A and B are shown apart, each in its own frame.
Chain A
Amino acid sequence: KAGVTQTPRYLIKTRGQQVTLSCSPISGHRSVSWYQQTPGQGLQFLFEYFSETQRNKGNFPGRFSGRQFSNSRSEMNVSTLELGDSALYLCASSPDGRTANYGYTFGSGTRLTVV
């Protein structure tokens, strides 16, 4: 079965712009989580969506937002980009949203560079 698909793979944006990243989870998976990975901070939790509802949120500013559609696909948006937003953005899906039962399956990520 197909894995977690993230698009685009690479993105270069200018400071002040906004960006939208997309994630299609494994078919049948209803939970999608987003993480930001940087060399200095490791994997930082952004938010988690389950059945179109945000269930959990990390400690990121309001410039970071997301949503989930009825087909479980998810998007995250970053507005007013800053240089510090340069990172690998990873999407992870799980079957029923309860990670107590399953591990996450990660996508290949979107590498965002802000110049």
Chain B
Amino acid sequence: GQQVMQIPQYQHVQEGEDFTTYCNSSTTLSNIQWYKQRPGGHPVFLIQLVKSGEVKKQKRLTFQFGEAKKNSSLHITATQTTDVGTYFCAGLFISNFGNEKLTFGTGTRLTIIP
């Protein structure tokens, strides 16, 4: 079945350092979405990338979708304590029958050392 792998599993950074998480799929994705889950909270939608090679920015966050639409990355510049949480990518697969399935990556838990 479709799998979405995400690395690293954990990342500890000093406040002010940059952070990157990577997502890889075994098959081509229709789109990729990114979510953030704060400790004790639920996933919150951040962004969706649809086009091959697409790059989107949200303040200090930069999201990229690979040319082959099989990989993606999230980069945070100059991390702040508010960035703490687990970041999930989620790949959308569409079957030949048109059924959609959003498959989540394993997540990267980011902790910030003040």
| Chain A interfacial positions (CB closer than 8 Å to B) | 33, 35, 42-43, 45, 48, 55-56, 59, 90, 92, 97-100, 102-109
CB distance from B27 to the nearest CB of A (A): 16
B45 close to A100 (CB less than 8 A): no
Q: State A45–B3 Cα separation when bound (angstroms).
A: 12
A106-B44 contact given A42-B105, A42-B107, A100-B94, CB 8 Å threshold: yes
Chain A residues with CB under 8 Å of B44's CB are 106
B106 close to A107 (CB less than 8 A): no
B99 close to A100 (CB less than 8 A): no
Q: Does B73 contact A (CB under 8 A)?
A: no
Q: Mark B24-50, 1 if CB is under 8 A from A, else 0.
A: 000000110101000001111111101
Q: Which of B45, B88, B90, B100 makes the CB contact (< 8 A) with A98? A: B100
| Chain B interfacial positions (CB closer than 8 Å to A) | 1, 30-31, 33, 35, 41-48, 50, 88, 90, 92, 94, 99-107
Q: State A56–B102 Cα separation when bound (angstroms).
A: 10
Q: Which of B48, B50, B101 makes the CB contact (< 8 A) with A56? A: B101
Task: Count contacts between A and B, CB distance < 8 Å.
Answer: 62
Could you write out 28 A-B pairs with CB less than 8 Å apart? Answer: A33-B102, A42-B106, A42-B107, A43-B43, A43-B90, A43-B107, A45-B102, A45-B104, A48-B100, A56-B99, A97-B100, A99-B33, A99-B92, A100-B31, A100-B92, A100-B100, A102-B48, A103-B35, A103-B46, A104-B33, A104-B43, A104-B45, A104-B102, A105-B45, A106-B44, A108-B41, A108-B42, A109-B42
B88 close to A43 (CB less than 8 A): yes
Q: State A42–B99 Cα separation when bound (angstroms).
A: 22
Chain B residues with CB under 8 Å of A105's CB are 45
CB distance from B23 to the nearest CB of A (A): 13
Q: Contacts A98-B100, A104-B33 given; 7 further ones with Cβ under 8 A?
A: A42-B104, A45-B103, A99-B92, A100-B30, A103-B46, A103-B48, A106-B44
Chain A residues with CB under 8 Å of B100's CB are 48, 55-56, 97-100
B101 close to A90 (CB less than 8 A): no
